[in-house]
Chain A
Amino acid sequence: MDMLKALVPVEMTLASNVALRYLCQKAEMLGIGLQPIHVEEPDHKPHSSETGWIRKSWESGLKQAGLEEVQRILQNERLECFVMPNPIVRVGSREEEILSELRLGGHDLFVEGEVANFNTNEFRKRLRSKLYRQMPCPALIVRNMIYSNHIAITLDEKTDMNHLADTFCHLFADKKIDLDICAYAMDDLNQSPHPEELLSEAKEIMTKRGFKPLKTFSLLGSPESAAKSLHDYGMLVVNINRKSNRKSPLTEVLGLASNPILFCW
């Protein structure tokens, strides 16, 4: 299978630094190459609103500065995975430029870092942003450098398991993966379908596609305790409805988790 392409914003931030390292460490497991992108967001000073030649040379100056920054960061990190030689550097709104590159560039995955906040509002805001609602490929949010290659598919009663399995198989085809499946609910009373039913269906779907889980388990309790129980996994894989604005217990768990999260939507 061809190498998958992951679009990764490269910035001078802790989040970007953690994402790059994590991604490089998992590059073999995912079979991906990194396509760096850097967006210089113009300020609102007069020079940026000029037109014609003045604007063009100002923009190319910004682009050049952006390119140098990306090259410096990549050089400092000394990444040992495959990084595409030509970073994409754009000037404009970060969200718009990344979205447009994802739509036109045929990327298989979008990866960015995020430093988790105890206040989960920031995470919800991110999921509700235009970028996340409209991106045409799966997204991986990296919060920490977790070395484990053990993956947990984490689902609830709203998970579209077939869609999750399709996307998962596209990314992990032919790879040997240590996989668990976990069904989360605050409690198992009055749950329809019951977590055990969700697990048995999910296990069947994944096994048919050649990914037999090592373990399936239901996780009950508060989002805080659930997030703690999952903390050893190197990646959580989920499918959530990004059109819905409603808070769900599963998104609360994801908001509190320290793990990298792969959204298969």
Chain B
Amino acid sequence: MKLLVAVDENAYSRYAVQQSARLAENTWSEVVMLGVEKNRSYFNEDELEQNQAHPKLTMLDRYRTDFLQAMKSDDGLYGTSSDKNFRAKGNKVLEKDASGRKHLFLHLRSGDPVKEVRNESREEESDLVIIGCGHHEGGWGRGSDVPGKIADSVDCSVFVIRENFVPAKIVCCLDHSNISQESLELINQWVSLYGAELEIVGVLKKGELREDLEAKMTEVLDYYLGHGIRALVRVVDEDSLESFIESGAKNELMALWLHQRSPLQKLLHSSKVASLVNHASSSIMIVR
């Protein structure tokens, strides 16, 4: 699995890094940690030390230390030496290779955070973007809705994780039956990491649960019960879905299975996904 952990300088990013480390350790993921700085043309980079010209490089180094410290075992999965420098990768990215047996790269890009996270996830072919978020506001700059926009615009799965979030329950909403094995396993990972309860929620269309969706819910339930995971099932009316997601508690993770043809995708298009992510109390995972 390829993880992209997008970070800024707020405390929630540190928390997101620590949680990413737990997932990475369990799944042996390849990891890229990405910082994004503003475009600046008013000074000459060559006249300054690298860390002075790009202060966020220090931030990335600090998060790398947090990442390694959050791992329970120290078996060289990722590199522990920090003596390498950042080098230019093309003309857009500054990169430090901190790999061990698995890849760990620190990347710094400049520009708009939403575009740069999207570009990075495409170029690195990430499977999951993890991004920290504060409670009751978007974070990533005053009045910004960056996490929501990222959740809406990238092609892969996105986990918007709120600070100090320890899930007691993972609530998975599905309205279509094209669910990949990878996404099931991704949910499985989070359930196991946190020892959380799982609830599978089917979305009713005009009061009915479609036959293929019902069959998929049975399959998903079988999968989790077979893994010894306590899984509950429930349904929600399409009309109440938005308020249902918003009502998620701080200790819940709301996971939404979206794909291009999904009615959920239509129901929660663009601004709605962004708004849900930014205003929900719970952490949210968009599973694609």
A115 contacts B209, CB within 8 Å? yes
Q: Pick the contact of A145 from B199, B204, B225, B236 — CB < 8 Å? A: B225
Residue A57 is within 8 A (CB to CB) of chain B in the complex: no
Residue A258 is within 8 A (CB to CB) of chain B in the complex: yes
B214 contacts A13, CB within 8 Å? yes
A 37-76 contacts with B by CB, 8 A: none
A14 touching B217 in the complex, CB below 8 Å, given contacts A258-B232, A258-B234: yes
A 106-152 contacts with B by CB, 8 A: 115-119, 143-147
Taking the nearest CB of chain B, how far is it from the CB of A124, in angstroms?
15
Residue A88 is within 8 A (CB to CB) of chain B in the complex: no
Residue B244 is within 8 A (CB to CB) of chain A in the complex: yes
Using Cβ atoms and an 8 Å threshold, which residues of chain B touch A258? 199, 232, 234
Using Cβ atoms and an 8 Å threshold, which residues of chain A touch B221? 14, 18, 145
Q: Pick the contact of A117 from B217, B231, B235 — CB < 8 Å? A: B235
B214 contacts A117, CB within 8 Å? no
Q: Pick the contact of B232 from A17, A118, A119, A144 — CB < 8 Å? A: A144
Residue B233 is within 8 A (CB to CB) of chain A in the complex: yes
B233 contacts A118, CB within 8 Å? no
Using Cβ atoms and an 8 Å threshold, which residues of chain A touch B233? 14, 18, 115-116, 143-144
B214 contacts A14, CB within 8 Å? yes
A115 contacts B240, CB within 8 Å? no
B203-233 vs A, Cβ < 8 Å mask (1 yes, 0 no):
0100001000010011001000100001111
Using Cβ atoms and an 8 Å threshold, which residues of chain B touch A13? 214
- Summed over the interface, the residue pairs from A and B with CB atoms below 8 Å come to a total of 45
Using Cβ atoms and an 8 Å threshold, which residues of chain A touch B204? 117
A118 contacts B214, CB within 8 Å? no
A119 contacts B237, CB within 8 Å? yes
Residue B35 is within 8 A (CB to CB) of chain A in the complex: no
Using Cβ atoms and an 8 Å threshold, which residues of chain B touch A119? 236-237, 240
Chain A at the B interface: SS class: loop
B interface residues, how many (CB within 8 angstroms): 19
A 130-188 contacts with B by CB, 8 A: 143-147
Nearest opposing residue in chain A for B225, CB measure: A145
A222-265 vs B, Cβ < 8 Å mask (1 yes, 0 no):
00000000000000000000000000000000000010000000
- Cα–Cα distance between A144 and B230 once the two chains are bound (Å): 10
- Cα–Cα distance between A146 and B209 once the two chains are bound (Å): 22
Using Cβ atoms and an 8 Å threshold, which residues of chain A touch B147? none
Q: Pick the contact of B218 from A17, A117, A118 — CB < 8 Å? A: A17
Nearest opposing residue in chain B for A113, CB measure: B233
Using Cβ atoms and an 8 Å threshold, which residues of chain A touch B244? 118
A117 contacts B237, CB within 8 Å? yes
Taking the nearest CB of chain A, how far is it from the CB of B120, in angstroms?
37
Using Cβ atoms and an 8 Å threshold, which residues of chain A touch B234? 115-118, 143, 258
Taking the nearest CB of chain B, how far is it from the CB of A116, in angstroms?
5
Residue B202 is within 8 A (CB to CB) of chain A in the complex: yes
Taking the nearest CB of chain B, how far is it from the CB of A141, in angstroms?
14
Chain B residues with a Cβ under 8 A of chain A: 199, 202, 204, 209, 214, 217-218, 221, 225, 230-237, 240, 244
Known A119-B237, A258-B232; further 7 A-B contacts with Cβ < 8 A: A14-B214, A115-B235, A117-B237, A118-B237, A118-B244, A144-B232, A144-B233
Counting from the closest, the 10 A-B pairs by CB-CB distance are A144-B232, A116-B234, A118-B236, A14-B218, A258-B232, A14-B214, A117-B235, A115-B235, A14-B217, A115-B233
Interface pairs (19), CB distance under 8 Å: A14-B214, A14-B217, A14-B233, A116-B234, A117-B234, A117-B236, A117-B237, A118-B235, A118-B244, A119-B236, A119-B237, A143-B234, A144-B233, A145-B221, A145-B225, A145-B231, A146-B230, A147-B230, A258-B234
